[in-house]
Amino acid sequence: MTRRQTLTRRARFGSPGTAAIFGLAALAALSGCTRTSPMHTGSISTAPTTAPQAIAAMNAAELGNVARTYGASYQADPQNKATGLAYASSLQMTGRNDQSLAVMQQMAIAHPEDRDVLAAYGKALAAAGDLPRALETVRRAQTPDYPDWRLLSTEGAILDQLGQPGPARALFQRALEIQPNEPSVLSNLGMSHLLANDLPSAERYLKSAVGQFGADSRVRQNLALVVGLQGRFDEAERIAAGELSAEEASANVAFLRTLLSQRNTWSELESENRA
């Protein structure tokens, strides 16, 4: 595992999704050597009507339960759109990106013209690391005469991972024109600046995102990451402790301390990214 992979898979505090994708290794993000998980933010049913948006707010135990529930429902009716989308989302949130992609491939076959399915398929492709196909799929799902801000934000996050921050940020701004102050888009903007090593701007966007109604655990975890990367470890741990277990928060901050104690961390990451 290279240091670039290590940073993206271990030091990140949250998942790229679709959320929010932490760009170097793919969305909402979105786990590796240590697992991070979103925290519980409300009473969420694990019945087969749970929406993907609600799944994003679940903790690890709830995600495991809902993935098993949707897995059984999906096996019984593999062409059901609502079940397939929710099952794929729960799989992504537990780090099972290849399995999530397999589910979405079947959904795309069953619903080849469905915009929601194509959008979710694009996110699954991005989470699995197939960025060119993800970009093609998300663009195919978009309608220029009535653009969807979620698709604009997802396309921007993919472009960021492809090393195109300018076009990515233009898409984020278009998404914000349609959906002002949307926390997931502001978070993607923050992570875009993080990838460019502009940590003050990243923190500004992420603090704005955290202050918006509807900001989920991953947004706050991204803020903790950016604060920690600036050496404010105690503050980062306080932010992360509200989203992760005490052990996970402490482990993430300890890793950041080690990472930042090494010389030329960012220059090495940028060199690997260019390569």
Residue 182 confidence (pLDDT): 96
pTM of the predicted model, to two decimals? 0.71
pLDDT computed for residue 138 by the predictor: 93
Residues in the chain with pLDDT values less than 50: 1-49
Quick one: DSSP state of residue 131? H
Residue 23: how many other CB atoms lie within 10 Å? 28
Residue 267: predicted pLDDT: 54
* pLDDT computed for residue 80 by the predictor: 94
Cα 240 to Cα 226: distance, rounded to the nearest angstrom: 11
Residue 1 pLDDT: 39
Tokens of 179: 């959906």
pLDDT score recorded for residue 44: 25
The pLDDT, as a whole number, for residue 37 is: 31
SS3 assignment, position 24: coil
What 3-state class would DSSP assign to 16? strand
Which residue's structure tokens are 């396309």? 155
CATH T-level topology, domain 3-274 = 1.25.40
User: What are the backbone dihedrals phi and psi of residue 216, each rounded to the nearest 5 degrees, phi first?
Assistant: -100, -175
Distance CA 265, CA 267 (A): 6
Q: Where are the domains of the chain?
A: 3-274
Q: Kindly provide the b/e burial profile for residues 104-123, where b requires at least 16 CB atoms within 10 angstroms of the residue's own CB.
A: bebbbeebeebebbbbbbbb
Provide the b/e sequence for 35-61 (b: ≥16 CB within 10 Å).
Answer: ebbbbeeeebebebebebebbbbbbbe
Identify the pLDDT of residue 51: 55
Structure tokens at 109: 């076959």
